[in-house]
Structure 1
Amino acid sequence: MDIQGLDEDGYIAREGSLERVRPEFAPVVDDARERIAAAFGPDRLHGAYLYGSIPRGTALPGVSDLDLLLALHREPTPDDRRAADALEAALDADFPQVDGVGVLLFGTGTLLSELERHDLGWFVACLCTPLLGEDLAGRLPRYRPDSLLARETNGDLALALPRWRERLAAADSDAELTALSRAVSRRLVRTGFTLVMPRWGGWTSDLSVSAEAFAAHYPDHADRMRLAAAVARTPTTDRAVLAALIDGLAPWLAAEYTAVHGEKAPRP
């Protein structure tokens, strides 16, 4: 894989692997594999994946979170969600190496659907590292960093803005503000990157690289995107900073994204 995240044929290469997991996180990953198998079993679980900084080999002990995606044979039920919540809490409590655990749940029908081909399907094939079960990547296409992928991954930013404003208005604790700042800033940086991804000609999950790729094409908005990248690395409780991102950068970015790539196909 070259520095732009593509394979020799110009397709986006899978960015993580179990071989890249740092020794500090290996016990967490091993335990997660065992707990997932015990909690869901072969009748419910089709496969499990890691994603994020741990399989990329860039995680920091005590700072990074553990991100998991579970592909179920059928669509998730409330019982499945409760089991995932219990798994999150147990892993987070038992391993100080990670600062938070998140488990996404999807049915294989959704992950392999035509509607999700260039969003969740791409996410599994390119950003997720197999941990248990069959790898669905073998049943998905290969992907290029083109406008279709840009549209279907982040062409719905405008839908997030009302929710972010509501969360900011309702937040009454530092924990809520920190969580919101992390979510908002990461989404903005990733959206800013995919806006320019076809012109940049590759793929990266590095937030700093993403912000600079954006800045090269939109210098008038570079400072605000660099601010988002800084907040993504070090979340803030400063309401003024959050307001600048949510009411300043985000509306412009959503409008520019639609103008360049169009709107993401509506989901039910």
Structure 2
Amino acid sequence: MDGAHGLNPDGTIAREGSLDRVAAEFAPVVEAARARIPEAFGPDRLHSAYLYGSVPRGTAVVGVSDLDVQLALHGEVTEADRAAARELEAALDRELPQIDGAGILLSGTGTLLSELERHDLGFFVACLCTPLLGPDLAAELPPYRPTSLLARETNGDLALLLPGWRAQPAGRALGRRVGRRLVRTGFTLVMPRWGGWTSDLDRQAAVFGAYHPERAEQMRLAVDAGRSPSPDPSVLRLLIGDLAPWLAAEYTAVHGAKTPR
């Protein structure tokens, strides 16, 4: 594996994360998720479960990091599934002092394996998720390379998010969501030129800044917002009002718009 650029020897993107990398402090968190997910989603609903983010990458910080989970369900996602996920998120956050929140994404297996999602949700499961329960869908997905197609389909819809962000009141949740999305989008803007993959926010911002030094300081603000949102609303206004529109326009010019869903 190319440790510098996150690639396998053949140039494909290596899978991030592993249960072996989970820090000892977070082992009880993983075991709680392993036990509670089947309780909330029985075998008729649950196909497989995955962890992603800092916990399986071994970079989680006690009391700061959240627990990120992706569930693959049989059939389409229902309102009952969403309600069960919200209840489980609240229970895990309440019962596990190691984490600051839990987030559970829900997708049907048909969607995850579809041609439309091949370079978005499919890539996410195959390369950014760590198997926790059930059959691994990565076995049914292709290898991926750091291409413009991958950039377009993963983050080429930033412009669609801006009206919603502008309409929401400033707050911690919005700041974290905006910050993380802007850093990811900035990184994938330059990913094909850099020729690799990383999900580390600091490294993503550094890679972006090497190609766009005039925006590097703003991207550092986005990293900070993605981790610990500033109480100063002017920071969020700057990110949404200046960095985000520039990034959306640049992204469309370089990679094109994401295929409509």
Same fold (TM over 0.5): yes
Of 141-150 and 35-44, more deviation after overlay is shown by 35-44
Deviation at 1:227, TM superposition (A): 1.6
Structure 1 residues 181-260: aligned runs within 5 Å:
181-260=175-254
- Stretches of structure 1 lacking an aligned partner (at least 5 in a row): 172-176
The 8 Å contact of residues 148 and 261 in structure 1, kept in 2 or not, is answered as yes
- Kindly indicate whether residue 18 of structure 2 is the aligned counterpart of residue 24 of structure 1: no
Partner of 1:113: 114
Q: Amino acid of the residue matched to residue 63 of structure 2?
A: G
TM-score normalised by structure 1 residue count: 0.95
Deviation at 1:226, TM superposition (A): 1.7
CA distance in 1, matches of 2:163, 2:150: 24
The 8 Å contact of residues 181 and 237 in structure 1, kept in 2 or not, is answered as no
TM-score normalised by structure 2 residue count: 0.98
- Stretches of structure 2 lacking an aligned partner (at least 5 in a row): none
Partner of 1:265: 259
RMSD of aligned alpha carbons: 0.9
Structure 1 residues 1-268: aligned runs within 5 Å:
1=1, 2-168=3-169, 171=170, 177-267=171-261
Q: Percent identity?
A: 70
Count of equivalent residues: 260
CA distance in 2, matches of 1:35, 1:242: 35
Post-superposition Cα deviations, 1:110-129, rounded to whole Å, max 9, x if no partner, equal 00000000000000000000
Post-superposition Cα deviations, 1:37-72, rounded to whole Å, max 9, x if no partner, equal 122121111000000000000000110000001100
Q: Amino acid of the residue matched to residue 135 of structure 1?
A: D
CA distance in 2, matches of 1:93, 1:232: 22
The 8 Å contact of residues 72 and 107 in structure 1, kept in 2 or not, is answered as yes
Q: Amino acid of the residue matched to residue 174 of structure 2?
A: L
Deviation at 1:224, TM superposition (A): 1.1
SS in 2 for 1:265: coil
CA distance in 2, matches of 1:113, 1:232: 30
The list of structure 1 runs, each at least 4 consecutive aligned residues, that deviate by more than 3 angstroms after superposition, is none
SS in 2 for 1:205: coil
SS in 1 for 2:40: helix
Deviation at 1:108, TM superposition (A): 0.2
The 8 Å contact of residues 28 and 95 in structure 1, kept in 2 or not, is answered as yes
